[in-house]
A and B are shown apart, each in its own frame.
Chain A
Amino acid sequence: MKGTVSRRAVLKGLAAAGLTGCGDGAARRSIPYADQPEGVVPGVPDWYATAVEFQGHAQPVLAESHMGRPTKLEGNPDSPWARGATDAFTQAACAVLYDPQRSLAIRPGDWDAFTRAVAGLPARGLRILTGTVTSPTLARQLAALTAAGARWHVHEPVGGEAATRAARLAFGRVVDTHLRLDRCRAVVAIDADPLGPGPDQVRLLRGWSEGRPRLMVAEPTLSATGAVARDRLAVPARRLPMVVERIAAELGLAPPPPGLTEAEAAWAAAAAQALAVHPGRALLAAGATLPAESLALVHMVNQAAGNTGRTVVHTEPVAVVPPDGEDSFAALVTDMAAGRVEAMLILESNPAHTAPADLNFGAALARVPLKLHAGLFDDETAALCDWHVPLAHPLEDWTDLRAADGTATVVQPLIDPVFGARRRHEILAAVLGEPAAEARRIVMDTWRPVLGAPFEALWRGVLHEGVVPGTEARPARVTAGPPPPSPPGPAGDGLEIVFRPDPTVWDGRFAPIAWLQELPKPLTKLTWDAVAAISPVLAARLGIADGDVVEIAAGGRSLAAPAWTLPGQADDTVTLFLGHGRQRVALPGAGGYDAYRLRRSDSPWVLGGASLGRTGARVELATTQPHRRLHGHDDLLRPSAGPAEPPSLYPDWEYPRSAWGMVIDLDLCAGCNACVIACQAENNIPVVGKSEVARGREMHWLRVDIYHDGDDGRAQFAPIPCMHCEKAPCELGCPVNATVHGPEGLNQMVYNRCIGTRTCSSYCPYKVRRFNFFDYAGIQPDTHRYLRNPDVTVRANGVMEKCTYCVQRIRRAQIAARAEDRPVADGSVTTACAQACPSRAIAFGDLNDPKSRVAALRSSPRHFAMLAHLGTRPRTTYLANRREA
């Protein structure tokens, strides 16, 4: 069984899931479809409200299920946090569910043996290690275990310990800080990346798009927020606390620090000015990479500027605070090393890979007599443990999670555990001595007292809506105390290293997921690899070219990584990305290095006194966009004063029904990639692997281009789907009528007519067409067949493909409208990219409907068509960036 997933096992799961109904309990037996179950119409998907998890936080979704197969997730529109949007990780969740590397079996015994092994465990001496916990049910079980004498610890590699510590410093207790970007006119971010990936990204991007505040960013290395900022200054990480102090000084809260450069002082003054002129309508944010003292000072500044309670809202913490607080993990490792831990249960955490090297976690773990691991993958930590239990994916699990705003979602399974996985609450129940407990019952027990009576009806409502009303985090009335002591001084001379989570594989948890490995990183467009980002100045000084392998040493440890020049990098800062270099469940072809080997627990984000030298070796890096400058074509991304659209010899098309169109607001795109993965999930887009990407053969129908306009790192993002031109050169080029103009304006690709001359792509000025140079669909993992959208053709070797405007969604809406004898309402059809977009940058609709959102956007003065002078008359058009206007 191990090593393969039998088709039978998957089908059993599917059959059971088909009977799940709308959350009325997973069937315990699998029954073949001899009789068609009521309510299941082949070809018509079911939708369930549930949530997937990211760093313990809910990402509330509506999950699309075809005959029991979850295939696609959409943001839950009823969730006040998600408001219908998702991030890139959530879009990839179905790929995680069907990942062929997920572990398949309990080892060394079976479930009964496992329950016997844990039944006799004395609670005292048992430690439980998890990631961030927001789940009320998990918290309840952990509390029960703690009450019995066990201890619970939290390890989150990309955690916010400094923010928690800062809250204690400033307010005397732990509170969450929520940034209301929608209420801001100006936002000053000190190495904070609210628009970058993270468990709260969806809400923050939406807020940014609604408030469109002026962004001022100071940071050592480029972030998504820095890229779209109005003003950006590269400042070494070790000098950022002084910048915070200077801003505070400008507002009269602290004495001005000495030693700022002229540029830093001027920037800080401008930032303070921006805060001062918008009292209560601006905010200062600093990342958890800064010392807690600086973050506490930020709270003071916001309070003094009148932002607290308006743009900066404090609430009771959403995540459960572990008993040892911010030192939870260090305390655990100390106890392990000292032999004070008798048994340990590690739940979906991989410290063998992600623990800072100085903690020497592996050696400490070896001293624990009994080690139990439950996780999706048989990973580095599992390999060191005595027991490994495959853990159910949230789409297979009964649990509950809270989003970053606190709103709870009851997570219901769409499918029985495919890979023989066990549900998390049942594992904990086994440890609690109730091996027969059923996850659904355990979760219901949590909510019974909360929901009150009539419970069954309310429970059904909660499952149906996907949110539990009234669960958002309660506001915390706190007042920032006197300014805390100044943070410690700069950490040594020489180069500094800053650590960042990888934008697509995060802390390493997504490293086995091919979709996310191949997802171009927002700022470098690199795939399948991690680089050490260096500044152009450093690259020139040391004669380093992109792809040269450099040796980076700090604190007596070193690692080798390919260098990559990143605009806007502080001169002497080297950025290392966490999450790569995994020893187990790595994907063939995935490159990168293990940055955790240099990380230190006492200073997890910045390391001073580093050195960097060339090794002479080179590696090939696969980037989807080798050229990230406009090369003089500055008018590409804005309305052009150039030659007008030329006339055409061909008559205009007529669209008596609908004329679909898309408008993309470049001002609202922060390059988050949610659209790219949403498109991949919707349209069965294959992964091609690193060497194929390096050859320029990636298959993403939608790409997000990045263009730097200067050397300060600021950039413009431009999502590029098919333009669906009115006068499409591709239609002219194809000799066999395989790409033709549809009756509603779509430029249609007829796969089974395509013979693969590739003339269409040669002629396409936007190069949005993708070609199956090999049988890419055939090399996808077998288990990914269950992931496919049955409404979208899987393309064969030798066939051209491209964005279809999600024509299957248009047809579905039209069929539904015709059945109800009504017109297709604006907003009832949307493409996968537009639906996922957290900042609502993509609008899709019928241009024939003058009241549609897309038609309204087309009348904006910022509206333009890309390369209009070619006369292609694209129906995907753009709104220019306001920063450029």
Chain B
Amino acid sequence: MARHPILPPRQDYAMVTAEVADAAHGPAIRRRWWVAMAAALPLVAAFLASTGLLFWLGTGVWGINIPVNWGLAIINTVWWVGIGHAGTLISSLLLLMGEGWRNSLNRFAEAMTLFAAMMAGLFPILHLGRPELFYWNFPIPSTFGVWPQFRSPLAWDFFSFVSYILVSLAFWYVGLIPDLATLRDRSHGAARAIYGALALGWRGSAVHWARWRQAYLGIAAAAFHLVISVHSGVAMLFAGGPVPGWHTTVFPPYFVFGAVFSGFAVVIMLAIGLRTAFRLAPLITPRHLDILGRLLLATGLLTLYGYLADAFHAWYSGDAYEIRTLLDRVEGEYAWSAWTAVALNFGAIQLLWWRRARGSQPVLFAAALSVAAGMWFERYMLIVSGLYRDYLPSSWHIYDASLWEWLLFAGTVGVFAMLFLLFARWLPMVSIFEVKEVLEREGKG
């Protein structure tokens, strides 16, 4: 990558600092920020209303039933946590591999990861019959008198979600510290005190940098394996049950591919949105978008392979129930979800074979949006078409999500957007010091 400069010429340290630190503070930009927030807040209200009703009456306000007793909540969990994966992948894997181009993307990708993982973590709690007791998943036998059930994939999912959120938070925060110090130095009054407290007394000494570097790489190493394990664990929740269409060993890699695929799609959408809205074009360059476009195509093809492998194994098993579920998916009650997923996931990304398409922000954004939506439909297909017809025809029953499920989904999009907008307003969206590292490497400082 070093052969091609990442950042445009005529960038210097002071410009980077100014571009990032002042990004959200121009009057025009503020107006845009408020418009975006105004769009997000009604969705936040929908979130509060739908969770309030859920807690008041119970999971019956959703459309779930026996046999489809997992509905949009689990679909959304898998979707959100999948989105979260790209951030960690960009941050930790590329950091460990020394890929400098990530330095313009990692900060907001990490924020996206954190917020998406929080949304993902909300749903399994909200979907519980008795959500107030979610903590019974913690292994605290001294007070509970009983361990969690370690054979259950769900017990491990709980551990991995909690670890994932904590590690993502730590990684993001540790990465923020030098920039928080920058903001502290540029602000006054209360803001200075808050940034100062959050910067933990960072003075930029060589010892600080050395300690920081150890911590950052250490957390990156911890975070990286979570990219694989969290979504494999999610896949095991399905593969672990004797449900036709779920009970297959291809699920863990298949799910990880899909997760990273959807995550890159959302990173692209946010990158284009940020560089347009906050004038970060000098830092998030066409070169970045080109790389992201290629990654989207590559992970898309991996996901397609997962689809084919899954279908092949269903057929090759010779199991009548597996084959029937496969046929159900392509021609049954929920065939629309399967075909929508295939079309949205693999149609638009074919454009990305061409450099010009990757260079066009509208095309790239549309392809990414298509994938983000497509991956949601894929989870819908996997979960609902697995459950609605399993073994005994007597228990077959269709599932229709209720208004409250849709509102809750929209609500989490709103909460995610609100959190992200607050982040964009008050914290550096691009890692100032890490971009400067790139400048240093490219000899522009």
Contact = CB atoms under 8 A, between A and B. Distances in A.
B394 interface: yes
A737 B66 contact: no
A425 B392 CA distance: 52
B212 to A, nearest CB: 37
Interface stretch (A126-134, A305-313, A669-677, A749-757): A749-757
Interface string A746-782: 0000000111111101110111011111110000000
B4 interface: no
B237 A759 contact: yes
Given A755-B136, A775-B58, A735 B242 contact: no
B57 interface: yes
Interface stretch (B150-158, B187-195, B436-444): B150-158
B397 to A, nearest CB: 4
B149 A697 contact: no
Contacts of A736: 136-137, 146, 148-149, 155
Interface stretch (A278-286, A292-300, A593-601, A630-638): A630-638
Q: For B68, B70, B392, which residue has the most chain A Cβ atoms within 10 angstroms?
A: B392
B129 A626 contact: no
B130 A755 contact: yes
A758 B69 contact: yes
Contacts of B133: 755
Contact of A762 (B63, B70, B321): B70
A773 B66 CA distance: 10
A707 B394 contact: yes
A433 interface: no
A798 interface: yes
Nearest to A750: B146
A818 to B, nearest CB: 27
Contact of A720 (B242, B320, B392): B392
Interface string B135-167: 011000000001111011111011000000000
Given A758-B70, A759-B237, A766 B243 contact: no
A67 B241 CA distance: 45
Contact of A774 (B57, B63, B146, B152): B57
B340 interface: no
Nearest to A650: B151
A427 interface: no
A626 B148 CA distance: 37
A697 B66 contact: yes
A733 to B, nearest CB: 6
A169 B74 CA distance: 69
Contacts of B282: none
B395 A767 contact: yes
Interface string B280-322: 0000000000000000000000000000000000000000110
A277 interface: no
A737 B149 contact: yes
A375 to B, nearest CB: 36
Q: For A626, A731, A866, which residue has the most chain B Cβ atoms within 10 angstroms?
A: A626
Given A695-B65, A775-B58, A767 B237 contact: no
A626 B399 CA distance: 13
Given A625-B394, A736-B136, A798 B129 contact: yes
Given A755-B130, A756-B59, A798-B128, A771 B69 contact: yes
Given A733-B154, A757-B128, A762 B387 contact: yes
Contacts of A769: 66
A799 interface: yes
A729 interface: yes
B359 interface: no
B67 A696 contact: yes
B137 A735 contact: yes
A542 interface: no
A116 to B, nearest CB: 52
Contacts of A799: 129-130
Interface in A502-559: none
A697 B65 contact: yes
A754 B59 CA distance: 14
B242 A761 contact: no
A797 B147 CA distance: 24
A626 B396 contact: yes
Interface string B174-192: 0000000000000000000
A425 B58 CA distance: 49
Contacts of B151: 731-732
Given A633-B320, A754-B130, A798-B130, A735 B152 contact: yes
Contacts of B321: 633
Contacts of B62: 773
B58 A696 contact: no
B334 interface: no
A765 B242 contact: yes
B390 A633 contact: no
A760 to B, nearest CB: 9
Contact of A733 (B148, B152, B387, B392): B152
Contacts of B64: 758, 773
A627 interface: yes
Q: Which 3 A-B pairs have the closest CB atoms?
A: A756-B129, A798-B129, A696-B65
29 contacts: A627-B396, A632-B324, A633-B391, A696-B65, A734-B149, A736-B148, A737-B149, A755-B136, A755-B137, A756-B129, A758-B70, A759-B154, A759-B241, A762-B70, A762-B241, A765-B242, A765-B243, A765-B392, A766-B395, A767-B395, A771-B129, A772-B129, A773-B60, A773-B64, A773-B65, A797-B58, A798-B129, A867-B391, A870-B242
